[in-house]
Amino acid sequence: MTDIFALLYLWLKSAHLIFVIFWMAGLFMLPRFFVYHQESAIGSAESELWVERERRLIKIILNPSMIVVWVLGLYLAYEIGAFKEGWFHAKMLFVLLLSGYHGWMAGYAKKLAGGERKLAGKKLRLLNEVPGVAAAIIVILVIVKPF
């Protein structure tokens, strides 16, 4: 790596991690929003406030963060030759699962906005653990590189 690229790489890696933090924060917040949303009466002013909060979280924080994480992550992986590493394949599996979880949560937000409330608060609280477990596994894969 040239000195300029080495410096750029560190900035891009830093940006990647910053946006991972933003994305994860949003993934932790959204199910909590859903719990509070479901506790409000359908069609009430409070319910409408939760619809708007959820929409903003998804559109302003979650979606842009996920896109930046993917773009920078794939670029960084390419630059270090990670595509042939076993740990990276496992990491990608968990990032894909988190992305699917993100999409499912965004879909559930639309259902809540339409008045559908299919999940109990307890189940939503349990779903809140998904990103934490995935993040722990991903960090171990990236730092320890067990295979």
Alpha carbon distance 111, 119 (integer Å)? 11
Can you say whether the dihedral through the CA atoms of 60, 61, 66, 67 is positive or negative? positive
Residue from 89, 125, 106 nearest 23 by CA: 106
Alpha carbon distance 10, 15 (integer Å)? 9
CB-based contact 32:128 (threshold 8 Å): yes
Tokens read off for 78: 């390419």
Sequence ranges of the binding site for heme: 16, 91
Q: Radius of gyration of the chain from Cα atoms?
A: 18
Sequence ranges of the binding site: 16, 91
